[in-house]
Amino acid sequence: MPVILDAHAMERSLNRMAHEIIERNPGHGSIGFIGIHTRGVPLAKRLSKLFNIFDAQRPPSLYGALDISFHRDDLASNIPIPKMTEVPFDLEGVKIILVDDVLFTGRTLRAALNATMDLGRPRGVELAVLVDRGHRQLPVRADYVGKNLPTAFEDKVSVHLLEVDGEDSVSMQRAGD
């Protein structure tokens, strides 16, 4: 599979995204990064850390992990293996940045929004994704994107993260290859 982002390009994308989040959220309000299991969790942790480094004037960002297993609309065809939701802060008055690896149809985001609202009422919610590959089935878009990647619906995009897979890379396999 051709590599679309190597470790260095991924690091640059995450740095840029962290700066964009700071620019679009001026002031001193609390920011909470919530990663969607599985690969959104380490990405949220990285963005939270970068946010704290680049904006030391603001209170440290908050960080959590979100399991959307029981909020998915494909439960009949997929039996979920629950993961741990760990959001150790009150969402009230906090701007939430939901973080995921790939934005595709938008269904994962819909489930994540439902799961987030079950936890409380944040000041607002934005979405940060490493890769936006298009093909929405729901009217959603990412606020922060590491890489826009035009794909065919049948193509496969693979995100590998050091924390989960032992390496940082994004690759794509064209349908039929």
Sign of CA dihedral 66, 173, 167, 16: negative
- pLDDT tens for the chain, 177 residues long, are 899 999 999 999 999 999 999 999 998 889 999 999 999 999 999 999 999 999 988 889 999 999 998 776 665 556 666 788 999 999 999 999 999 999 999 999 999 999 999 999 999 999 999 999 999 999 999 999 999 999 999 999 999 999 999 999 999 999 887
Structure-block tokens of residue 29:
């309000």
What domains sit in the chain, N to C, each tagged with a CATH number? 3-173 (3.40.50.2020)
What distance in Å separates the CA atoms of residue 137 and residue 95, rounded to the nearest whole number?
26
- Enumerate residues 6+ apart whose C-beta is below 8 A from 46: 14
d(CA 145, CA 20): 10
Taking the model in full, what pTM does it have? 0.94
